[in-house]
């Protein structure tokens, strides 16, 4: 089954959010009005809604000696697209969490990196060595 997901998140500044996703990440903007905006995040619908104040605690967790944000969302890409996006982001951002290989030489071996958007959300981009091992 091939399905798309939808997630809606509060945002601090709609204009900065639109700039980050369209100009910095190259994500296509969808429908919008002055209070919200949709993005096409690799075929999935990502919505941001403008709100006055919100607060999330960002606890971290350890994975193979790497400190990672427990609250995040992301996209799984093929390896070529993943490398191109990583190179593109590293041209403008010094805040990416260094790309890392997890579960090396095990089921689910993957390369991953995170970037933080203007609202404080962490986005993970990952690629699997074997695409059929996403869930094993």
Give dist(CA 81, CA 34) in Å, integer: 32
- Check pLDDT > 60 for residue 134: yes
Domains of the chain (ranges plus CATH)?
6-50 (3.10.180.10), 60-133 (3.10.180.10)
- Over range 94-115, report the average pLDDT: 84
Position 100 pLDDT exceeds 70: yes
72, 77, 96, 16: which is closest to 48 by C-alpha? 16
Which pLDDT tens digit goes with each residue over 25-71? 999 999 898 899 999 998 889 999 988 877 766 677 778 888 887 77
Of 66-70, 78-82, 110-114, least confident by mean pLDDT is: 66-70
Q: Give whole-number Cα distances, 87 to 90, 91, 108, in Å.
A: 5, 6, 23
> What's the rounded mean pLDDT across residues 6-10?
88
Helix (H, G, I), strand (E, B) or coil at 23: helix
Using 50, 70 and 90 to split pLDDT, how confident is the model at 92?
Answer: confident
Q: Show contacts of 61-67: CB within 8 Å, 24+ apart.
A: 63/102, 64/100, 64/102, 64/103, 66/97, 66/100, 66/102
Instruction: For residue 26, give Cα distances in angstroms to 29, 59, 135.
Output: 9, 28, 28
């Amino acid at each position: 089954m091939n399905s798309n997901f939808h997630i809606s998140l509060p945002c601090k500044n709609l204009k900065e959010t639109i700039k980050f996703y369209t100009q910095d990440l190259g994500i296509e903007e969808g429908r919008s009005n002055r209070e919200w905006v949709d993005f096409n995040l690799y075929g999935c619908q990502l919505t941001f809604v403008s709100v006055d104040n919100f607060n999330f605690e960002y606890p971290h967790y350890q994975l193979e000696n790497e400190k990672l944000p427990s609250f995040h969302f992301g996209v799984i890409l093929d390896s070529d697209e993943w490398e191109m996006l990583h190179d593109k982001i590293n041209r403008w951002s010094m805040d990416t969490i260094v790309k890392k290989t997890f579960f090396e030489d095990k089921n689910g071996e993957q390369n991953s990196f995170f970037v933080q958007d203007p609202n404080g959300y962490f986005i993970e981009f990952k690629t699997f060595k074997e695409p059929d091992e996403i869930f094993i």
